[in-house]
Amino acid sequence: MEMFRSMTGFMAANQSLVLPANNACLRLGDTFTNNATFTPQQDIYKDLVRVSWSETTWKEPACIFVPRTTSEVQGAMSILAEEEAGFGVRSGGHMPIAGAAMADNEVLIDMSRFTDIEYTSEHNKVVIGTGLRWQNVYDYLDQYGVTVVGGRVLDVGVGGLILGCGLSYLSESYGLACDNVVNFGVVLADGSTVNANEYSHRDLFWALKGGSNNFGIVTSFTLRTYPIQKVWGGTRVIGWDRVDDFLDAMVAYETAPERDELASVNINLAATNDTIILTLVYLKPVESPAAFSVFDGFEPLLDTTGIKTLTELMSEFLTPPIPRIRFHAMTVKPTQELTAVIKDVMLHSPHMQTIRAATAGTCAFSWQPISAHLVEAGQRTNDGGGNALGLEAVAQSWFHIDLRWWRAEDDAVVTAAAEGMYAEIEAAAKKQGSHLPYLFMNDAHEGQDVLASYGEDSAKRMREVQEHYDPHRVFERKMAGAFKLPSA
């Protein structure tokens, strides 16, 4: 404890102003003597900062607090509120946004020790801690032959994905990850705890389905489970010389009046690498299902499709080891006209040359086809009156630009290039009447007003929930976070 005090004193003495966070760090170290609070003078501090996925998110918190229990989170919230200290909350740290989960000279609450998990077969439910990664969840559930509507990338954290919406390979059948939560365990700004579900705190239950971390710290999620294990699917890599025909096939798939609800497609046009990456998933072990026949005419350069467990399939999708990452999200109606504009940007925009010139600069244009059935499935599955997302039940593409590069010196030019391409595509979509307001939080960047994109009615209702559960707006004023509630 004396060692902690001396380090905290050193930290405060070397700043021109004693920040409220420094006092909070000292009190956290005094209150929780189980080696839960770490400062910049400790070796583990740097490792904890670097847990976050993209180097663009790395900051220098005043200290990092790693609670083990809900009562420790409660105690920490009381201290932070009393000190009026800024703080951030991190589940898996996968969101590539500066300030999403931590900020300089503030307290980072790292939830990585909330890793309890318990499956109840009688109720087809599983309770999962917010500090788990989806790999942990799927590995645990595989022994029971069930799965959940969860993340598609195994290293992603549970908390951020669900609170942001959560798109899954099960979503066409069962809706989004947030639609499949039956209970949130939440620590509120005043340090109290509640269970939010269809019977208790229904307003908070609704708001947490897409409302991110604006209402409290979620410590656990109870999810429905489904008896799915063996599936068919994998990845096909297709040559860039087929890009014209492939884009036609993609639009045909997206606009088909009927889509098989067991089928999911994810498409990445890796423009800087001249490859098309097509991911196919069918939720039954059926060889070469007819649902994907529109893509059968493309001879792949690489094909991993086959019958395997869903977890094995997802383990094939490895994240490129490029340290700086940025996303730009957009929702559009799939049309040949807009696809032609996007193709022209991919092939001819001078911004693409800027990205290629950056060290390890890569750019992919990604399509995530969303059917009207997916939105309706979420509405049917959902307990407690739906979610906060304001989705229209129409065929749509959750489109995003995915950028990666190596050096911090390239941040400004890569960001400007991305924004230039995005603006061109967005303007075309609006002019053509194919633009939709919704922004998929899990693929958005900090400059996008995600919660406002849900619509005025949703925004007003979320403000009412905030007023009820956090009347002093602690989470709005003091918590780092990428997406705040829109102004009244």
Q: Is the pLDDT of residue 105 over 90?
A: yes
pLDDT tens-place string over residues 357-372: 999 999 999 999 999 9
pLDDT of residue 16: 40
pLDDT tens-place string over residues 66-76: 999 999 999 99
pLDDT of residue 264: 97
pLDDT tens-place string over residues 199-251: 999 999 999 999 999 999 999 999 999 999 999 999 999 999 999 999 999 99
pLDDT tens-place string over residues 401-439: 999 999 999 999 999 999 999 999 999 999 999 999 999
pLDDT of residue 379: 86
How sure is the predictor about 18, in pLDDT bands with cuts at 50, 70 and 90? low
Q: Is the pLDDT of residue 301 over 80?
A: yes
Q: Is the pLDDT of residue 6 over 70?
A: no
Would the CA dihedral through 334, 336, 338, 342 be positive or negative? positive
Tokens describing residue 45: 């501090």
pLDDT of residue 8: 47
How sure is the predictor about 332, in pLDDT bands with cuts at 50, 70 and 90? very high
Q: Is the pLDDT of residue 3 over 90?
A: no
Mean of all residue pLDDT scores within the chain: 94
Q: Is the pLDDT of residue 14 over 70?
A: no
Q: Is the pLDDT of residue 477 over 80?
A: yes
Q: Is the pLDDT of residue 254 over 70?
A: yes
Taking the model in full, what pTM does it have?
Answer: 0.95
Number of Cβ atoms within 10 Å of the Cβ of 101: 31
End-to-end CA distance of the chain: 46
Q: Is the pLDDT of residue 12 over 90?
A: no
Percentage with pLDDT > 90 across the chain = 92
| pLDDT (mean) for 14-38 | 85
How sure is the predictor about 384, in pLDDT bands with cuts at 50, 70 and 90? low
